[in-house]
Chains A and B, each alone.
Chain A
Amino acid sequence: MTGQEALFEYLLRLGDNALILGHRLSEWCGHSPALEEDLALSNVALDLIGQTQLWLNLAGEIEGKGRDADKLAYLRDARDFRNLLLVEQPNGDFAATMARQFYFDAWHYLLLRELTGSKDARIAEIAAKGLKEVTYHLERSQEWVLRLGDGTEESHRRMQAAIDDLWMYTGEMFESDEVDQAMMRESVGPDLAALHEPWLGLMRTTAEDATLTLPQPGWAQRGGKRGMHSEHLGYILADLQFLQRAYPNATW
């Protein structure tokens, strides 16, 4: 794998995480438990889709085959997506959505913070922009984990179930493969393993304040970064890509 190929893969991962989670959150539009939550979830989705455009346009430029963000988002099949398994998990109930968001936001925040110091100026620039938005996402998702965990018996039960069910998808966030290592050697990206401790620190403090029991580190489900996805991604793409598949090259 050449340096350019690794960079392309790396940018796809950044873009696909934002795209798939953004799409998942947009599924709540019109269905949220309250109007304020509908607005908030849609706005977080919008931030993530905005970040997707920046990452995937840059990926297309690096690849040099004339693909832009739209082509990459709408015309790849599931095996070519590089997002984490965590972000493609179904919305479930509101607790599951917020637990998934909190796990991801804390990691996303730490990653973007490191990427603001990337040797690649374009990556640093997009990360600095995204970091400001993700800061808000993290504050919000943490607040919901606290509120539901330390809430009623029912909300506590649901939030505990959510953090338990999604836990096995968090390990993948901190594992490095040859792409991550190539980026580390070039000082483009950080050592993902080094993000684990600060991430766990925030998880432990938050779980304690929320009267939740954090699952023990254990077996991790992995594969998303290499294109090995859960069955859910295909259904997401069927929805996300429908228009371009049915009406190729349709534009507004």
Chain B
Amino acid sequence: MTSSLTRPDLEQIRTWLEEVPDPEVPAVSVMDLGIVRDVQWSGDDLVVAITPTYSGCPATSVIALDIESALRAKGLDRLRVERRLSPPWTTDWISAEGRRKLEAYGIAPPAENAGGPSVFDRLLRKPLTIACPRCKSENTARISEFGSTPCKAQYRCDDCLEPFDYFKCI
């Protein structure tokens, strides 16, 4: 039982959430990815708001469960995890630390500030240059618009010849 006198402060809770890994990309935490949108006390209840990366992302319910178990393990027993759809998740919310961890894990981080989707304009533009997370070469080619999860695309490095995932910019 937590009361307003003994309950941990929100900074502490955020630190705990930084230890909850994303189930599909365990190198980064749910905080790094910007999936946790808000942590607030509502009376004596802790409310954690999360947002899905993609509408059909099967990891979203696992993430909610992981967050709940992690916080319960810290003694927080009055908590709810809420889903929030708006504003829609964007890769711009991935922290600098998250981008660094993605690259170290072998996933090229998303291009920064791609702006809103205006595909009719973008269809006329050349594809982005994505650097290989291993050898940093920019001599890479896209193999498929989609990868092992909806949030990733598949690329190949034409210098070191390694295939790699690119975390798509949305």
Q: A54-B85, A128-B86, A129-B88 are in contact. Are A47 and B123 (CB under 8 A)?
A: no
Which 8 pairs from chain A and chain B are nearest by CB?
A50-B56, A50-B55, A36-B144, A40-B146, A125-B86, A135-B117, A43-B146, A46-B56
The answer to whether A139 and B56 touch across the interface, beta carbons within 8 angstroms, is no
Contact with B along A218-251 (1 / 0, CB 8 A): 0000000000000000000000000000000000
Question: Please, how many angstroms separate the alpha-carbon atoms of A39 and B85 in the complex?
Answer: 25
- Pairwise interchain contact A136-B145, C-beta atoms closer than 8 A: yes
Given A50-B54, A50-B57, A132-B117: A126 touches B147 (CB 8 Å cut-off): no
Contacts of B87 in A (CB 8 A): 128
Q: Mark B109-126, 1 if CB is under 8 A from A, else 0.
A: 000000001011011000
Known: A131-B117, A132-B117, A138-B119. A53 touches B146 (CB 8 A): no
Separation of A206 and B120 alpha carbons in the complex (Å): 11
Given known pairs A46-B150, A131-B117, A135-B119, the reply for A39 and B144 (CB within 8 Å) is yes
Q: Which of A126-177 contact B (CB under 8 A)?
A: 126, 128-133, 135-136, 138-140, 142-143
Name the residue on B nearest A51 (C-beta): B55
Cα A136 to Cα B149 in complex, Å, equals 14
Query: Do the beta carbons of B56 and A49 come within 8 Å of each other?
Result: yes
Q: What residues of chain A have their CB less than 8 Å away from a CB belonging to chain B?
A: 36-37, 39-40, 43-44, 46-51, 53-54, 109, 121, 124-126, 128-133, 135-136, 138-140, 142-143, 198, 202
Cβ of B148 within 8 Å of any chain A Cβ, yes or no, is yes
**B115-155: which residues lie under 8 A (CB-CB) from chain A?**
117, 119-120, 122-123, 143-150, 154
Whether B100 sits at the interface, judged by CB under 8 Å, is no
**B150, A36: Cβ atoms under 8 Å?**
no
Closest residue of chain B to A121 (Cβ to Cβ) is B86
How long is the Cα–Cα vector from A37 to B147 in the complex, in angstroms? 10
Highest count of chain B CB atoms <10 Å: which of A37, A54, A131, A132: A132
- A47 and B55 form a contact (CB under 8 A): yes
Binding site for A on B (CB under 8 A): 52, 54-58, 85-90, 117, 119-120, 122-123, 143-150, 154, 168, 170
Q: Check if B56 sits within 8 Å of A40, measured CB to CB.
A: no
The answer for the CA separation of A136 and B143 in the assembled complex, in Å, is 14
Pairwise interchain contact B56-A51, C-beta atoms closer than 8 A? yes
> A130 and B144: CB pair below 8 A?
no
Q: A47-B150, A54-B85, A202-B120 are in contact. Are A133 and B55 (CB under 8 A)?
A: yes
Shortest Cβ distance from residue B64 to the other chain A in the assembled complex, whole angstroms: 15
**Once the chains are docked, how many angstroms separate the CA of A109 from the CA of B143?**
24
Please determine whether B123 and A142 come into contact, CB atoms closer than 8 angstroms: yes
Contacts of A46 in B (CB 8 A): 54, 56-58, 150
Whether B119 pairs with A129 at a CB distance below 8 angstroms is no
**Which residues of A have CB within 8 Å of B168?**
136
A125 touches B122 (CB 8 A): no
Q: How far, in Å, is A141 (CB) from chain B's closest CB?
A: 10
Indicate which residue in A37, A53, A125, A133 contacts B150 across the interface (CB closer than 8 Å): A133
Complex: A143 Cα to B145 Cα, angstroms: 10
Which B residue sits closest to A130, measured CB to CB?
B55
**B42 CB to closest chain A CB, in angstroms?**
22
| A36, A121, A128, A202 — most chain B CB neighbours (10 Å) | A36
Known: A132-B88, A142-B123. A39 touches B55 (CB 8 A): no
Nearest chain A CB to B109's CB is how many angstroms away? 17
B120 — which chain A residues lie within 8 A by C-beta?
A: 198, 202
| A139–B119 CB distance below 8 A | yes
A207 to B126, CA, bound (A): 19
Known: A46-B150, A132-B170, A202-B120. Contact between A40 and B54, CB under 8 A? no
Q: Given the complex of chains A and B, what is the CA–CA distance between A198 and B55 in angstroms?
A: 26
Measured in the bound complex, the distance between the Cα atoms of B89 and A144 in whole Å is 28
